[in-house]
């Protein structure tokens, strides 16, 4: 399974997946990294790991349609099977969404459908969980569609919200869980234990 990454910042989940591929815990190949931030940690990681990388953004392609096409062309050039959003802060265009429908995955630091949508990322998500006095939080991996955090959920894992948790302590515990849970979920896809909604290219692995 060839994985294409889209990342905007540090790419810590991306690195966790790459490490799992290197150790053999995840039977997949990190094929390409695309970032909308030319100075992102994700690009630095890609350089260090020898993974092809590209800066594609409104700076390189001011017209949204051309940016969408450039992202799609890059994923196809590297024979990507599954697209992983690792802290990617932009919506994908219709061409990329259509071609990879059912095969674009995002990780969210809360239990969707709660605490999703525009603005619910990073520390803001954990602030909302604490403010709502939730007893549980966790990690959701879902299929990406045209809206923020509305695609089908394929895997979730929960942790308790502790009485003395702050947004920062909750964020740290959830992030640690993400680094384990995302590679594990991808391996379950490789093994056919999780079937993506619509991904014809992966059917051969499920036979």
Q: How many CB atoms lie within 10 A of CB 194?
A: 15
Is 108 labeled as catalytic in the residue annotation?
A: yes
Q: Is the CB of residue 181 less than 8 Å from the CB of residue 189?
A: no
E-state strands within the chain: 2-7, 29-35, 53-55, 82-85, 104-108, 136-143, 153-160
Q: What's the CA gap between 81 and 65, in Å, rounded?
A: 22
Pick the catalytic residue from 78, 108, 126, 142.
108
DSSP of 132-185: TT-SEEEEEEEE--SSTT-SPEEEEEEEEPPTT--HHHHHHHHHHHHHHHHHHH
As annotated, the active-site residues are 108
């Amino acid at each position: 399974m060839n994985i294409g990454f889209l990342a905007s910042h540090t790419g810590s989940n991306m690195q966790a997946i790459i490490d799992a591929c290197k150790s053999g815990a995840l039977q997949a190949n990190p094929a390409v990294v695309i970032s909308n931030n030319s100075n992102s940690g994700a690009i630095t990681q890609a350089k260090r790991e020898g993974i092809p990388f590209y800066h594609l953004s409104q700076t390189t392609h001011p017209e949204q349609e051309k940016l969408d096409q450039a992202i799609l062309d890059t994923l196809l050039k590297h024979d990507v099977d599954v697209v992983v959003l690792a802290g990617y802060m932009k919506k994908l265009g219709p061409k990329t969404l259509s071609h990879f429908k059912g095969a674009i995955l995002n990780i969210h630091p809360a239990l969707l459908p709660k605490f999703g949508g525009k603005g619910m990322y990073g520390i803001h998500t954990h602030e909302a969980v604490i403010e709502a006095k939730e007893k549980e939080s966790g990690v959701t991996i879902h299929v990406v569609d045209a809206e923020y955090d509305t695609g089908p959920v394929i895997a979730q894992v929960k942790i308790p919200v502790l009485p003395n948790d702050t947004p920062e302590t909750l964020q740290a515990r959830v992030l640690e869980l993400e680094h384990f849970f995302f590679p594990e979920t991808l391996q379950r896809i490789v093994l056919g234990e999780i079937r993506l909604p619509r991904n014809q290219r992966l059917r051969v692995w499920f036979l």
